[in-house]
Structure 1
Amino acid sequence: MKNRILSIDVLRGITICLMIVVNTPGSWSYVYAPLKHSEWHGCTPTDLVFPSFLFVVGLSMSISLKKLNRDNHRKIRNKLLKRGAVIFLIGLLLNWFPFYQTNIADLRIFGVLQRIALAFMLAGIVITLIQNTRSLILSLIALLLTHWSLLYFLGGTTPYDLESNISGTIDIWLLGSNHVYSGFGIPFDPEGLLGTLSSAAQVILGYLIGKNTLKHGKPGTKELNHLAVVSLSLIAVSLVWNFVYPINKPLWTGSYTLYTSGIITGFWAILIWVIDIGKKEKWTLPFKVFGQNPLASYVLSIIVVKLFIYVFKINGTTLYGWSFKHLFQRIFENHLASFMYALAFTFIIWLFAFWLYKKGKVIKI
């Protein structure tokens, strides 16, 4: 398609590929350190994956909303809101699937797709209402500072701790503890409602960077230099902010938003240099495949994982656990076996995405 920027497709595809890899180790007992999330404060390579998807959502919006103006902003906003609502519903159904396994009284409401949907909708409202670049910059700053203020002033003496942060309190008050993620040992949802503020800011930031970089079409050396400055500036600001406002993925703090956006911007600049300017494209096929149908690939990966765990059994053992033990652990050392399992699983999903790619099919929501 003439409006597609290959470096964005590849960045999106790399993101989806990594999302599936880090979500599907053969065993959570054997995971290499870079493929784990930070326990609380901090940022590992894995913690860059989810914000990368939100950032790419913003980049994509900078292309799809090029014809946004005062005459059509309401129509476009309504379309964005409907799309966001559908994505949220898909995420909710994925949490419930397979439907006999989880009682609806204990259904987790939030999740990865729900966070993407809410951030997408909030960012879409802001972008379609404001449009002016300077005002959008002020709006994303306002979102980050509002989130910080709520966490700081309503979180007691330790506002950024797991047990006392206001984000978890809001989700429990709003939904009840049964509908909140409990993987941290207590009810606390890393994709909770309050984090939507900084997540939406990340989408807006991606939109602004994309809008500025692509305003003359495909980017060149001038835009590349600008991206390098933006990348280093965002990282520098985030590291300074980190002294008083920790880089934290579960809370999705503003410092985390800027830090990850800075790294992702730098990585996109490298992809532009290699792909769009250097025309070195042969290696990109695996990621173009995922990048063409990112949401469908991710949704399928969750469905298949749950089928392997909850539905298909061999001698009373889940297909997921059986295949890891009897296929991969017999060949590789535990950690390598777990990693190879994740790669093999990702390849299975890739084959479906490749079939769609060869057919020229793009599943849109």
Structure 2
Amino acid sequence: MTAALTKSPRLLSLDVFRGATIATMILVNDPGDWGHIYAPLEHSVWNGCTPTDLVFPFFLFMVGVSIVYAMESRKASGENQSRMIWTALRRMFVMMLITWCTQVILRWNFDLSKLRLPGVLPRIAMVYFICTVLYLKTSQKTRDWVFVIALVGYYLLMTFVPVPGVGYANLEPETNLGAWIDRTLLTPDHLWRSSRTWDPEGLLGTLPAIGTGLFGMRVGTWLKRKDRDDTVKVSWMFTYGVIAVVLALFWDLFFPINKALWTSSFVLYTGGLATIGLALCFWLIDVQGRKRFTYPFVVFGTNAIAAYVLSGFIPHYYNLIRWDDKNIYQHLIEPHFSPVNASLVGAILIVLILWLVMWVFYIRKIFIKI
């Protein structure tokens, strides 16, 4: 990873939206007490969608938007497509390596036979690379068809293809087609350690996740157009977002909205909400110029990957600080609040600590790029 100044123009609303998403991710990933959490700050048990379930797809959506801005900027600088694709491939492998190294360091366990191979960052990496290639090598019409084929194809695979050893298609955690593929190709020892029978970031689920990236690219392409007034852009973004949500709710009737499976209805639902959210941010910040509240989120948004990686390390070592056989949370927070409020305050404290680290980066103009 290298530190560099960002010289290309940035879409401020995108940085704010991304920063708010990262802050929310840290909040829900680091409660003071996992046994006491407000319901909206937990993932849905299986089908359905809580506010927490929006974090990951929102980030992938913004990866798609960012690809449009980044690739157009690099094209304008004269960089050729082959170089951009090789750079994207390198970034994909670096992000995967960061995930695997992080697991080894945090657990201090060098037994790679039980290393989890899928994960949040590997999925982001694969979606980023594939969407970059699609953006550089295909037209918007082709990408729209790829989006439809990915969502419909995934639906058909998951609901009609019999699962070996089970005999019928199903959407249960351990017996669906994606779980079988992960156990067969990656083996149980390399899957999510809470289960070892399936993985929420498994291989087959990457197909609709690419759809989430393509959704973002479609919106990013629309935002980049110079032949449309900003008010028209915002109006159509709200319209597309609402249509996507309505279609998702209809599809949910027979292909449930489900984050762990990353169902096609989940792609439309979260993509629609992300489009509405970005439209609101774009209108308020970039069109109306209301920027006074943006600074805290920009600090996170301009260093999103660094914030994500550090969110694995800082809370881990923070919780290792102990005296009288208790950690900081148990000494300073837990005794003064109700259990769920103490857990929430503990999570907010972690967000603030990480924000201070990112703020130091920001004021020193250090933007971490992979």
TM range (shorter): over 0.9
Which secondary structure does the structure 2 equivalent of 1:110 belong to?
coil
For residues 154 and 277 of structure 1, what CA distance do their matches in structure 2 show? 51
Give the CA deviation at 1:312. 4.5
The CA RMSD over aligned residues, in Å, is 2.0
Corresponding residue of 1:137 = 144
- The yes-or-no answer on 1:355 pairing with 2:363 is no
> What runs of 5+ residues in structure 2 fail to find an aligned partner?
1-6
**Letter of the structure 2 residue corresponding to residue 98 of structure 1:** L
Q: TM-score, normalised by structure 1?
A: 0.93
> What runs of 5+ residues in structure 1 fail to find an aligned partner?
none
Instruction: Tell me whether 2-11 or 37-46 shows the greater mean CA deviation.
Output: 2-11
Which secondary structure does the structure 2 equivalent of 1:227 belong to?
helix
Give the CA deviation at 1:129. 2.1
Corresponding residue of 2:111 = 103
Corresponding residue of 1:45 = 51
Alignment of 1:98-247 (within 5 A): 98=106, 100-101=108-109, 103-130=111-138, 132-152=139-159, 153-155=161-163, 156-183=167-194, 185=195, 187-216=197-226, 220-247=230-257
For residues 169 and 110 of structure 2, what CA distance do their matches in structure 1 show? 34
For residues 321 and 32 of structure 2, what CA distance do their matches in structure 1 show? 16
**Residues 92 and 110, structure 1, Cα contact 8 Å, conserved in 2:** no
Alignment deviations for residues 69-106 of structure 1 (CA, whole Å, 9 cap, x no partner): 99932221111111111111111112222352463221
Give the CA deviation at 1:331. 1.4
Alignment of 1:239-318 (within 5 A): 239-309=249-319, 312-316=321-325
For residues 135 and 71 of structure 1, what CA distance do their matches in structure 2 show? 23
| Length, aligned pairs only | 358
Corresponding residue of 1:336 = 341
For residues 12 and 354 of structure 1, what CA distance do their matches in structure 2 show? 15
Give the CA deviation at 1:240. 1.1
Give the CA deviation at 1:55. 0.5
Instruction: Tell me whether 169-178 or 284-293 shows the greater mean CA deviation.
Output: 169-178
Give the CA deviation at 1:171. 1.1
Corresponding residue of 1:9 = 15
**Letter of the structure 2 residue corresponding to residue 75 of structure 1:** R
Give the CA deviation at 1:125. 2.3
CA change 1:68–1:168 in 2 (3 A) is farther
CA change 1:140–1:34 in 2 (3 A) is same
**Residues 190 and 196, structure 2, Cα contact 8 Å, conserved in 1:** no
Alignment deviations for residues 268-290 of structure 1 (CA, whole Å, 9 cap, x no partner): 11111211122111111100000
Alignment deviations for residues 180-210 of structure 1 (CA, whole Å, 9 cap, x no partner): 1142x45211011111111111111101111
Alignment of 1:40-79 (within 5 A): 40-66=46-72, 68=75, 72-79=80-87
For residues 306 and 333 of structure 1, what CA distance do their matches in structure 2 show? 23
For residues 24 and 127 of structure 1, what CA distance do their matches in structure 2 show? 35
For residues 264 and 357 of structure 1, what CA distance do their matches in structure 2 show? 26
Alignment deviations for residues 18-48 of structure 1 (CA, whole Å, 9 cap, x no partner): 1111000001101000000001111000000
Alignment deviations for residues 101-138 of structure 1 (CA, whole Å, 9 cap, x no partner): 463221111111111111112222222221x1111100
Instruction: Tell me whether 117-126 or 260-269 shows the greater mean CA deviation.
Output: 117-126
Q: TM-score, normalised by structure 2?
A: 0.92
Instruction: Tell me whether 236-245 or 349-358 shows the greater mean CA deviation.
Output: 236-245
For residues 175 and 268 of structure 1, what CA distance do their matches in structure 2 show? 36
Which secondary structure does the structure 2 equivalent of 1:363 belong to?
strand
For residues 290 and 341 of structure 1, what CA distance do their matches in structure 2 show? 19
Corresponding residue of 2:4 = none
The percentage of aligned residue pairs carrying the same residue is 33
**Residues 293 and 363, structure 1, Cα contact 8 Å, conserved in 2:** yes
